[in-house]
Chains A and B, each alone.
Chain A
């Protein structure tokens, strides 16, 4: 088997291993671990768009919210009808959860398609702004949509997310993105990033590549949203605002754009940082933002990017 497939298999085994031991692990650490896993999914999927394809999207939280709401809607509204009054067996519940996650991912991917087709004609800052705008529009729409709880959010989502699902999801995301970028097709993403005009000149359909990256990124953001919703058991539109998007972007940039390992490490670090700083709660966010500035000045190529070629810049 090729290496990435082996790695995926190993990660899945590790995930089930951790799940088997999860009774013995302190629930607090488990929570942090789930947070890390979800952030890895988000950051790695955004890295496909921002890092590998070189498009700057600020709307990742918007796609996450689409996925979170739709998958929550599936388990809340469709679930009871499919499983019956008794709640069904554990297997049926897990199958439903899987279906809900996939539905969330697909709906987010569809939203990504809707957003991507018109906006990916724009470049740089304009694209960043339009994606930001779409993220905000999605949030306001959900806020005003009463069947989904409006501004209050959706409560009572079953707690289906466990450590296995999250780690498996993270592993699957890393696997998919790595394989996609390394494939013949995926070279196109890198070409679009390196030089769009040259890529176009050799006959690549750059818009198509951008849209594919965008849709795949949105799909995984939707999955992450679904996991998040079934983990917190309550979601509200305010949780998916502009700052959430920024958080994910920061992970990508800190990890080094287009460097999956770095991004994974950055996601871990940035999830742990607020937890580590918890004893100094009052200064927590001040320190966090201060560290961000210092890191950017000290290591502009990304904290975990060691392959930086100085002669290039």
Chain B
């Protein structure tokens, strides 16, 4: 269960990035899963320069990789997606896929295709809560995720840029009419989403300490499933979808059906979409002519 929650927390972090970008731009950022990979690598390289097993060293690596990826996200949007603003969604989608392939292959070129062991950034210990054993990295995952969720909620609901974000996602044209600089908002959204993905990447690598340039593909796909599960474009929905998916997958992994675990995420998705086509927390809209 704890395993499930910590895995789910990571899915939730990645799913948030998908869902925010979708909310603002209405397209699926396929390259998001590779930002997650870059985040893990950034954490890896920063981790070599900070002392291991210390809380502040780990925090530094985490924050550093989040900053790197926020930059990467903004850059990506600027170079690849902005020229396509207003183009059909499918074209943007293909660009995103191209971006994803580009990041994967650049990763393989620069980092090498062989998996690398991940350093233990945070102090390692196991705590027992009445028969329940929790490792420190799991605690870190859950703690960091909860913290980031609170921060995110604050940013989106209470700050000026958050309000602007919500305005853009409701109606971009109207938002720009009332004086919101859409480009800034979109860049900010990409930065924020990518930073969350980076945090997810570092935390994932702490729990499953082996990283390679293709590590992002499956978690990315599943996080995307999680975002859709919760109703894409919906922030609490993404968190809920992530947790749900993490728990379900961990339970399946522990059962005799473990070889089917990669299919389970999609099976859950299909079943839920059949009954609630707009996701768990999504509002279904009626198309008007």
Contact = CB atoms under 8 A, between A and B. Distances in A.
A250 B267 CA distance: 26
B24 to A, nearest CB: 15
Nearest to A253: B94
B289 interface: yes
30 contacts: A118-B274, A121-B274, A122-B277, A125-B232, A126-B277, A129-B225, A129-B273, A133-B265, A133-B269, A134-B266, A134-B270, A136-B221, A137-B266, A140-B259, A140-B262, A141-B260, A144-B259, A197-B287, A242-B221, A283-B109, A285-B101, A286-B106, A286-B109, A289-B100, A292-B94, A292-B97, A293-B80, A296-B92, A297-B84, A300-B84
B225 A296 contact: no
B263 interface: yes
B105 A286 contact: yes
Contacts of B265: 133
Interface of B: 22, 28, 80, 83-84, 87-92, 94-95, 97-102, 104-106, 108-109, 217, 221, 224-225, 228, 232, 259-260, 262-263, 265-267, 269-270, 273-274, 277, 287, 289
A297 B97 contact: no
A249 B98 CA distance: 12
A163 interface: no
Given A132-B221, A133-B270, A296-B84, 9 more contacts: A121-B274, A133-B266, A144-B260, A246-B97, A285-B101, A293-B95, A296-B91, A296-B98, A300-B84
A130 interface: yes
A257 B105 CA distance: 27
B86 to A, nearest CB: 8
Contacts of A289: 98-102, 104-105
A282 interface: yes
A210 B104 CA distance: 34
A143 interface: yes
Given A133-B225, A292-B101, A300 B87 contact: yes
Q: For A119, A121, A285, which residue has the most chain B Cβ atoms within 10 angstroms?
A: A285
Contacts of B225: 129, 133
Given A125-B28, A129-B228, A293 B91 contact: no
B91 A282 contact: no
Interface in A113-148: 118-119, 121-122, 124-126, 128-130, 132-134, 136-137, 139-141, 143-144
B87 A130 contact: no
A84 to B, nearest CB: 38
Contacts of B273: 119, 122, 126, 129-130
A282 B97 contact: no
Nearest to B224: A129
Interface of A: 56, 118-119, 121-122, 124-126, 128-130, 132-134, 136-137, 139-141, 143-144, 197-198, 242, 246, 249-250, 253-254, 257, 282-283, 285-286, 288-290, 292-293, 296-297, 300
A140 B269 contact: no
A271 B224 CA distance: 29
A286 B102 contact: yes
Contacts of B277: 121-122, 126
Contacts of A296: 84, 91-92, 94-95, 98
Nearest to B82: A297
B269 A130 contact: yes
A156 B84 CA distance: 47
Nearest to B103: A289
Contact of B88 (A118, A126, A242, A300): A300
Contacts of A136: 221, 262-263, 266
A127 to B, nearest CB: 9
Contacts of A242: 217, 221
A6 to B, nearest CB: 34
Contacts of A290: 98, 102
A250 B287 contact: no
Q: For B102, B104, B221, B260, which residue has the most chain A Cβ atoms within 10 angstroms?
A: B102
A87 B210 CA distance: 49
B109 to A, nearest CB: 6
A60 B177 CA distance: 42
Contacts of A246: 97
A126 B284 CA distance: 12
Nearest to A126: B273
B274 to A, nearest CB: 6
B267 to A, nearest CB: 6
A121 B270 CA distance: 12
A129 B269 contact: yes
B269 A297 contact: no
Contacts of B90: 56, 253, 257
B270 A297 contact: no
B158 to A, nearest CB: 30
Nearest to A129: B228
A250 B266 contact: no
B273 to A, nearest CB: 6
Nearest to B217: A242
A275 B80 CA distance: 26
A197 B289 contact: yes
B36 to A, nearest CB: 16
A249 to B, nearest CB: 7
B27 to A, nearest CB: 8
Given A286-B106, A293-B80, A119 B263 contact: no
Contact of B101 (A134, A283, A288, A300): A288
